[in-house]
Structure 1
Amino acid sequence: MKTITLNKPGEFEVNETEKPLENLQSGEALVRVHRVGICGTDLHAYIGKQPFFTYPRILGHELGVEVIEVAGDVDNVAVGDKCSVEPYFNKTEDHAVERGFTNCGENISVFGVHEDGGMREYFKIPSQYLHRSKKLSYDQLALVETLSIGCHAVNRAKVTSEDTVVVIGAGPIGMGACQFAMAAGAKTVMMDINQERLNFCNKNIKVDGTVEVHQEVSETEKRIRAQFNGNLPTVVIDATGNKHSMANTLQYTASAGRIVFVGLFPGDFSFHDPYFHKKELTIMASRNSLPADFDQIIDMIENNQIDTTPWITHKVLFTDIANHFDSWLKPETGVIKAMLTLS
């Protein structure tokens, strides 16, 4: 079978490997890959800036797959099912996992990041990580993991129709967070430094408003207040992974509000403690997502509550990845979500 390996930063190799037909264990499924979404993690790995990453590695964790075979006691999927893949594997039943937090176990292994992923024609996987749909296309199923990151952040903040929300960072994660905040009934505004991205969100995501970040924090705050009748939002979700943006969220959030950091900054950052205490803010991290998030998203897409139409802006053949990856790193390419096709 054809397999794509990232041997080192900037070097993909397409090669032939053995199809995993042997030793399918009880509870496992053999799946055929139809779609692979490209995300920020893949791009960071390609340029050599992904934390906790080793080479060589088979990337790919945003997947639309078909069940080819199952072994033993499997009742959640059957041969022929179309599925999304939940890529957060836990090697131990540690305290977090026992409490249901499978997204942040002490010994978590993310498929396509910490271990070889789905940029290959077939792979074996415990069936518990497959989420099937009888309605969704492979394109839509490959988008579920992307959407789940923003969905989990919104669920962490417990957003309701009583809230007002600012999402910072108009990339795929921020766009997803906007969609789920709006679906919860909250007035939701996207904020970014890139006006073209904001225009895209206005046109395609149909956010309730946008704010272009100003170099002066006080001016940005004024622009935010203008969106909410002079008030600040009750929830701010930062999807930038930028330490300056993350620190500024305390100024942008209403008293008794909630801040969720879904973007990862690989280092230390500080914030102005008087804002934290004066406003009695709650600050949360959001990592990965939960099985229930996958089920929620599939149900919402099936019932037309979430529109995936605008997401896929670039689509190429699986084996042609090396000819396109460099261009996807350039903002002028306009990539929101690139998708590899195997069928």
Structure 2
Amino acid sequence: MKAIICQKPDDLQIIETEKPELRSGEALITIKRIGICGTDIHAYKGNQPFFTYPRILGHELSGVIEEVEENDRGFHTGDQVAIIPYMHCGKCIACKTGKTNCCTELHVIGVHKNGGMCETLAVPVSHLIKTDDISLDEAAMLEPMSIGAHAVRRSSLKEGDKVLVIGAGPIGLGVMAFAKYRGAHVIAMDINEERLAFCRSWANVDETVNAKNDPINQLSEITDGDFPSFVFDATGNMQSMNQAFQYAAHGGTLVFVGLVKGDITFHDPDFHKKELTLMASRNAIKEDFNNVMEAVKAKKIHLEALITHRCSFNEVTEQFAEWLLPQSNVIKAIIERE
């Protein structure tokens, strides 16, 4: 079968590889849609932590079951599915407490093990979600939206809370959408005015802040000097993450959704003065996927509007580098296989 492999940074190639065999407890999935996310981009550019080469990328996936044994989860050949790409051990302290997203032995499809930029992928049936009620595009988008939904749920924000989301990429947009879904007053921050306009039109945010124009003063004016009670940084940018401590209210919560390959530093007296809560939010769990699925089915979240670019499987090696250029204005790119 064909697969797209990242041999080393800045080097994507289409190769021929062995088709996986069906094993007990798994299903063979004909991959139909592959979303491109920040993790794929960081891997391509050599900036992704916990990553080794060569690797078949791709973890935002939807497809159709090609073959599956009889199972107690109700999956059959021909079912349309989305894939939960986080392979957990089920035995460690995190898994035992339901935090499978931070399993001590976690292996993410497309990051720690070969992913879904291929024609057929073997996946445990425990990591499939039936998506016959939504489109293949929407099904592939469940994973990135689940990351935002997980961060919002983890924060425990409430209706009416003032929330700042830094970074208007797909993950940040997901945080905004689900913070609004919970009834929060949402402020979007980015350095790109076109992205901020999209935050207003798609995520229906209440305010926008251009980080180039004295963001502290803007946030003070918007919040009457209180600053946001919840700050989510979804940039994966070290400078932004270091500055995010300045934006939270006294007694507030800062959630790092993005991941950076380096050290985050902050001024401890200010951190203690505010008695800030600092949280990391990693990946998502099945509950988050189900919550996103329900929101999509109820037409509360419109995922297809996020997709700005698409190409066929055979065009990826030509298109990928172009999608990384700022002038491409990519919000979400999708690879199609028919």
Asked if 1 retains the 8 angstrom alpha-carbon contact of 2:63 and 2:82, the reply is yes
* Whole-Å separation in 2 of the counterparts to 1:202 and 1:150: 17
In percent, how many aligned pairs have the same letter?
46
Corresponding residue for residue 219 of structure 2: 224
- How far is 1:15 from its partner? 2.6
Corresponding residue for residue 250 of structure 1: 245
Tell me the amino acid that sits aligned with residue 219 of structure 2: I
Tell me the amino acid that sits aligned with residue 317 of structure 2: A
Q: Which deviations, in whole Å up to 9, do the C-alpha atoms of 1:283-320 show, x marking residues without a partner? A: 10001111100011011100111111321000100111
Q: In structure 2, the residue corresponding to 1:320 is in which secondary structure?
A: helix
* Whole-Å separation in 2 of the counterparts to 1:76 and 1:291: 16
Corresponding residue for residue 295 of structure 1: 290
Corresponding residue for residue 147 of structure 1: 145
Residue in structure 2 matching 1:47, options 21, 35, 45: 45
Corresponding residue for residue 167 of structure 2: 169
Asked if 2 retains the 8 angstrom alpha-carbon contact of 1:76 and 1:128, the reply is no
Q: Which deviations, in whole Å up to 9, do the C-alpha atoms of 1:184-204 show, x marking residues without a partner? A: 000101001222211222233
Tell me the amino acid that sits aligned with residue 132 of structure 2: K
1:17 correspondence with 2:17: yes
- How far is 1:272 from its partner? 1.6
Superposed, 1:1-343 pairs within 5 Å as 1-20=1-20, 22=21, 24-91=22-89, 93-214=91-212, 219-343=214-338
Q: CA RMSD in A?
A: 1.5
Could you tell me which runs of 5 or more consecutive residues in structure 2 were left unpaired when the two chains were aligned: none
Asked if 2 retains the 8 angstrom alpha-carbon contact of 1:27 and 1:72, the reply is no
Higher mean alpha-carbon deviation, 4-13 vs 117-126, is at: 4-13
* Whole-Å separation in 2 of the counterparts to 1:186 and 1:93: 36
Q: Which deviations, in whole Å up to 9, do the C-alpha atoms of 1:252-297 show, x marking residues without a partner? A: 1111111101111211121121222222211100011111000110
Higher mean alpha-carbon deviation, 175-184 vs 248-257, is at: 248-257
Asked if 1 retains the 8 angstrom alpha-carbon contact of 2:26 and 2:125, the reply is yes
For normalisation by structure 1, the TM-score amounts to 0.95
Tell me the amino acid that sits aligned with residue 16 of structure 1: E
Asked if 1 retains the 8 angstrom alpha-carbon contact of 2:236 and 2:259, the reply is yes
* Whole-Å separation in 2 of the counterparts to 1:250 and 1:75: 44
Higher mean alpha-carbon deviation, 196-205 vs 134-143, is at: 196-205
* Whole-Å separation in 2 of the counterparts to 1:322 and 1:191: 32
Higher mean alpha-carbon deviation, 43-52 vs 321-330, is at: 43-52
Q: In structure 1, the residue corresponding to 2:95 is in which secondary structure?
A: helix
Asked if 1 retains the 8 angstrom alpha-carbon contact of 2:81 and 2:129, the reply is yes
* Whole-Å separation in 2 of the counterparts to 1:12 and 1:253: 40
Asked if 2 retains the 8 angstrom alpha-carbon contact of 1:247 and 1:272, the reply is no
Asked if 2 retains the 8 angstrom alpha-carbon contact of 1:65 and 1:83, the reply is yes
* Whole-Å separation in 2 of the counterparts to 1:208 and 1:55: 42
Structure 1 runs of 4+ aligned residues shifted over 4 Å read: none
Q: Report how many aligned residue pairs link the two structures.
A: 338
* Whole-Å separation in 1 of the counterparts to 2:304 and 2:219: 28
Q: In structure 2, the residue corresponding to 1:324 is in which secondary structure?
A: helix
- How far is 1:72 from its partner? 4.4
Tell me the amino acid that sits aligned with residue 3 of structure 2: T
Higher mean alpha-carbon deviation, 92-101 vs 226-235, is at: 226-235
Tell me the amino acid that sits aligned with residue 12 of structure 2: F
Could you tell me which runs of 5 or more consecutive residues in structure 1 were left unpaired when the two chains were aligned: none
* Whole-Å separation in 1 of the counterparts to 2:248 and 2:239: 15
* Whole-Å separation in 2 of the counterparts to 1:298 and 1:79: 21
Q: In structure 1, the residue corresponding to 2:300 is in which secondary structure?
A: coil
